[in-house]
A and B are shown apart, each in its own frame.
Chain A
Amino acid sequence: MMVTATAQRPAPSTDEAPVLECEDISRRFRVKSRLFHAPEFIHAVNGVSLSVPRGEVLAIVGESGCGKTTLAKMLLGLLKPSSGTIRFSGAPINEAPRAVIARQVQPVFQDPYSSLNPRKTLGQIIGLPLLVHQIGRPSERPKQIAEIMDVVGLPPYLVHAYPNQLSGGQRQRVAIARALVMKPEVVICDEPTSALDVSVQAQILNLLQDLRRDLNLTYVFISHDLSVVEHMADRVAVMYLGRLVELGETGQIFDRPRHPYTETLLKSILTPDPGQGLPSFHVDGGFPDPLNPPSGCYFHPRCPKILDECSRSRPGLVSDEYGSVECHLHQNEAIT
């Protein structure tokens, strides 16, 4: 498929406990139950396991309904998993107080317009974490705020400005500053550039890369834009209807995808190559109903490489040194 050029990026460290670990986490939501019927559930996230070493950028890709937003909320400690454990640097966070989790993981959201309180100044917005956690003396906080604003590229006089006076790119920088002011270890980026113009997106992505390197951050990078993912991520996790169907290094995923859904996703990337035309797809039934998922492998009704057992049984997870995949096609093999 595509030949990817790797860059000179410091390799994620592997000699300590992974900074973030998810062990078979699930989250279900009760759907409005009717009288006299058993309650129905949607399994927004269904048995996901991940292990993220410090310094890595792990991308989570998938289309709407795949569960990535729910997963992000669980990683932020905003939702408790229905089952399974999440660990930060080895310590489980299931019972940890919100304040402890907040110092370790912070979000950057998609919409720069709704992620900043329109009634607060930048100084108040960025300073909120310091206030909540009583970090430093009150007299020192303006300095900390000024420092982080400098790091993200915001001129210092903006500290008294309000969000409505800023451009989309500037607002996103504010969101990043707020996320970083407490020096967390992990940043969950949920489509951080999808709502920005292309030229601004490039600025913010460059900034995120610089920050990761300078502050030794770890990113969980959720995006639907596979070109951006290919550029930013060390490893990619592909989700479908709440399950993690493939996980691997970026080069591996983009050059030699194993799961048919991954292949489908990659096929739909529209690179700016004129003359290559549009990918051809057979018209399929569309995304399945999360309340009533297909039997066996969730992807089987849309899968171009379906086997007999795909509709009967759910494939198990196969892990090797390249990553993992949940597919009957690869049930018994290890890739070279």
Chain B
Amino acid sequence: MGIEDATVSAPTPREIMRRRAMGHMGFLIGASCVLLMVFLAIFAPYLTPYDPFEQNLEARLINPFWGTGGSWAHPFGTDSLGRDYLTRILYGARISLTIGFGAALISGVIGSTLGILGGYFGGRVDAVVMYVINVKLALPGILIALSLVSIIGGSLLALVFILGFLFWDRFAVVTRSVTQQIRGNDFVTAAAAVGASKTRIIFGEVLPNLTNQIIVVASLEMAIAILVEALLSFLGLGIQPPTPSWGLLVSEGRNFMFFKPFLITLPGLAIFFLVVAINLMGDGIRDITAPEGRN
């Protein structure tokens, strides 16, 4: 006893990540923007006195406060049916974020499960998983989404599930290859030698080392889901009016594009900012959680 007395001076993994996070500009900007959007989405009813569905045909197509005739009564103006645009955009955040999180969650579960099973067990199980992944990769996701939505209809729940079931490939590929790497480590062999069941090994040894990668992929997939939903809604095949999806707002604003451009630019910018923020945050998480080199 006593030889290894040196006090621990190296920081814990959590401290390392925290230190990196605080210094990472991209992550801080992205994460704070995402958090802001989440806050706005959750508290939308308290932040605006208007109802997003309430029409006021007297007050149609009023400019935002920076345009002629605009005022702070309708900071972002009104649309063709007199509905307050700021309110529509705030409630639209709910749609985008719900679909983003929901689809990422579902595709994360599907893809990670397949990837972990294939990566851990190898052999025939992996052959089957690879086959499924290859089939999925060969399918044109967006086209299938389009067809499914036209059959099932464009409710929020349907979209979350359709997108969740169609965009899990990256999860599967990443988790599969990382699981293979993790499996090559001696601590997995040691756990098996200790007598741990496969379930315990997968959840206790493999999964904790995967979570960072999964989060990074999840942020990417969230951004993609949001964009695809916007696309579908724009085409009229996603969220149906009068629910204020941002894609739908852009579509509704098309007719007035040339003399009331704010109808398109504002929801367009909203989509843009949210997706950029998510991507920045995801990149940041990847950098922050990158493994430490050996001393």
Interface residues of A, Cβ cutoff 8 Å to B: 76-78, 98-99, 101-103, 105-107, 109-111, 113-120, 125, 128-129, 132-133, 150, 153-155, 157-158, 161-162, 164-167, 169-170, 173, 175, 178, 182, 203
12 A-B contacts, Cβ less than 8 Å apart?
A: A76-B193, A98-B195, A101-B195, A109-B189, A119-B13, A125-B187, A132-B200, A165-B9, A165-B11, A166-B10, A167-B6, A170-B4
5 new A-B pairs (CB below 8 Å) besides A117-B205, A128-B196, A170-B4? A105-B193, A107-B193, A109-B186, A113-B294, A203-B3
In the assembled complex, the Cα of A165 lies from the Cα of B14 at a distance in Å of 12
Contacting residues, chain B, for A107 (C-beta < 8 A): 189-190, 193
Instruction: Say whether, besides A107-B189, A113-B294, A153 and B196 are in contact (CB < 8 Å).
Output: no
Contacting residues, chain A, for B1 (C-beta < 8 A): 150, 153
Contacting residues, chain B, for A101 (C-beta < 8 A): 195
Cβ-based interface call for B291 (8 A): yes
| Beta-carbon contact of B4 and A115 below 8 Å | no
User: Out of B2, B13, B189, which one reaches A153, CB within 8 Å?
Assistant: B2
Please give me the 4 A-B residue pairs with the lowest Cβ-Cβ distance, nearest first.
A102-B195, A115-B186, A119-B208, A165-B10
In the assembled complex, the Cα of A175 lies from the Cα of B193 at a distance in Å of 12
Q: Mark B282-295, 1 if CB is under 8 A from A, else 0.
A: 00000000011011
**Could you tell me the distance in whole angstroms from the C-beta of B289 to the nearest C-beta in chain A?**
11
Cβ-based interface call for B194 (8 A): yes
| Beta-carbon contact of B190 and A175 below 8 Å | yes
Which of A111, A119, A178 counts the most chain B CB atoms within 10 A?
A119
In the assembled complex, the Cα of A265 lies from the Cα of B184 at a distance in Å of 30
| Beta-carbon contact of A106 and B185 below 8 Å | no
In the assembled complex, the Cα of A15 lies from the Cα of B5 at a distance in Å of 41
| Beta-carbon contact of A161 and B12 below 8 Å | yes
> Binding site of B, secondary structure by majority: helix, strand, loop or mixed?
loop
Cβ-based interface call for B191 (8 A): yes
Contacting residues, chain B, for A153 (C-beta < 8 A): 1-4
Contacting residues, chain A, for B187 (C-beta < 8 A): 114-117, 125
Instruction: Say whether, besides A118-B291, A132-B200, A78 and B192 are in contact (CB < 8 Å).
Output: yes
| Beta-carbon contact of B8 and A165 below 8 Å | yes
Cβ-based interface call for B255 (8 A): no
| Beta-carbon contact of B194 and A129 below 8 Å | yes
In the assembled complex, the Cα of A165 lies from the Cα of B4 at a distance in Å of 13
Q: Who on chain A is nearest to B210 by CB?
A: A119
**Could you tell me the distance in whole angstroms from the C-beta of A236 to the nearest C-beta in chain B?**
24
Segment 175-218 of B: residues with Cβ below 8 Å from A? 184-187, 189-197, 200, 204-205, 208-209
In the assembled complex, the Cα of A175 lies from the Cα of B195 at a distance in Å of 15
Q: Mark B1-31, 1 if CB is under 8 A from A, else 0.
A: 1111110111111001000000000000000
Q: Who on chain B is nearest to A115 by CB?
A: B186
| Beta-carbon contact of B4 and A154 below 8 Å | yes
In the assembled complex, the Cα of A106 lies from the Cα of B291 at a distance in Å of 28
| Beta-carbon contact of A162 and B12 below 8 Å | yes
User: Out of B9, B191, B192, B209, which one reaches A118, CB within 8 Å?
Assistant: B209
Contacting residues, chain A, for B194 (C-beta < 8 A): 102, 106, 128-129, 132, 178, 182
In the assembled complex, the Cα of A165 lies from the Cα of B192 at a distance in Å of 25
Contacting residues, chain B, for A165 (C-beta < 8 A): 8-12
| Beta-carbon contact of B13 and A103 below 8 Å | no
**Could you tell me the distance in whole angstroms from the C-beta of B141 to the nearest C-beta in chain A?**
33
**Could you tell me the distance in whole angstroms from the C-beta of B175 to the nearest C-beta in chain A?**
16
Contacting residues, chain B, for A110 (C-beta < 8 A): 186
Q: Who on chain A is nearest to B192 by CB?
A: A78
Contacting residues, chain B, for A132 (C-beta < 8 A): 194-197, 200
Contacting residues, chain A, for B190 (C-beta < 8 A): 107, 109, 115, 175, 178
Instruction: Say whether, besides A165-B10, A165-B12, A78 and B4 are in contact (CB < 8 Å).
Output: no
In the assembled complex, the Cα of A155 lies from the Cα of B1 at a distance in Å of 8
Q: Who on chain B is nearest to A181 by CB?
A: B194
**Could you tell me the distance in whole angstroms from the C-beta of A78 to the nearest C-beta in chain B?**
6
Contacting residues, chain B, for A128 (C-beta < 8 A): 191, 194, 196, 204
| Beta-carbon contact of B195 and A155 below 8 Å | no
User: Out of A78, A129, A133, A164, which one reaches B10, CB within 8 Å?
Assistant: A164
**Could you tell me the distance in whole angstroms from the C-beta of B14 to the nearest C-beta in chain A?**
8
Contacting residues, chain B, for A106 (C-beta < 8 A): 193-194
User: Out of A103, A118, A178, which one reaches B195, CB within 8 Å?
Assistant: A103
Instruction: Say whether, besides A117-B209, A129-B195, A111 and B13 are in contact (CB < 8 Å).
Output: no
Contacting residues, chain B, for A167 (C-beta < 8 A): 4, 6, 295
| Beta-carbon contact of B189 and A78 below 8 Å | yes
In the assembled complex, the Cα of A154 lies from the Cα of B190 at a distance in Å of 20
| Beta-carbon contact of B196 and A117 below 8 Å | no
Contacting residues, chain A, for B13 (C-beta < 8 A): 118-119, 162, 164
**Could you tell me the distance in whole angstroms from the C-beta of A255 to the nearest C-beta in chain B?**
34
Q: Mark B214-230, 1 if CB is under 8 A from A, else 0.
A: 00000000000000000
In the assembled complex, the Cα of A184 lies from the Cα of B293 at a distance in Å of 34
Q: Who on chain A is nearest to B211 by CB?
A: A119
Contacting residues, chain B, for A118 (C-beta < 8 A): 13, 209, 291
| Beta-carbon contact of A102 and B193 below 8 Å | yes
In the assembled complex, the Cα of A48 lies from the Cα of B275 at a distance in Å of 62
Q: Who on chain B is nearest to A160 by CB?
A: B12
In the assembled complex, the Cα of A211 lies from the Cα of B220 at a distance in Å of 51
User: Out of A119, A155, A182, A203, which one reaches B5, CB within 8 Å?
Assistant: A155
In the assembled complex, the Cα of A173 lies from the Cα of B9 at a distance in Å of 18
Contacting residues, chain B, for A117 (C-beta < 8 A): 187, 191, 205, 208-209
Contacting residues, chain A, for B193 (C-beta < 8 A): 76-78, 102, 105-107
| Beta-carbon contact of B189 and A158 below 8 Å | no
In the assembled complex, the Cα of A69 lies from the Cα of B189 at a distance in Å of 12
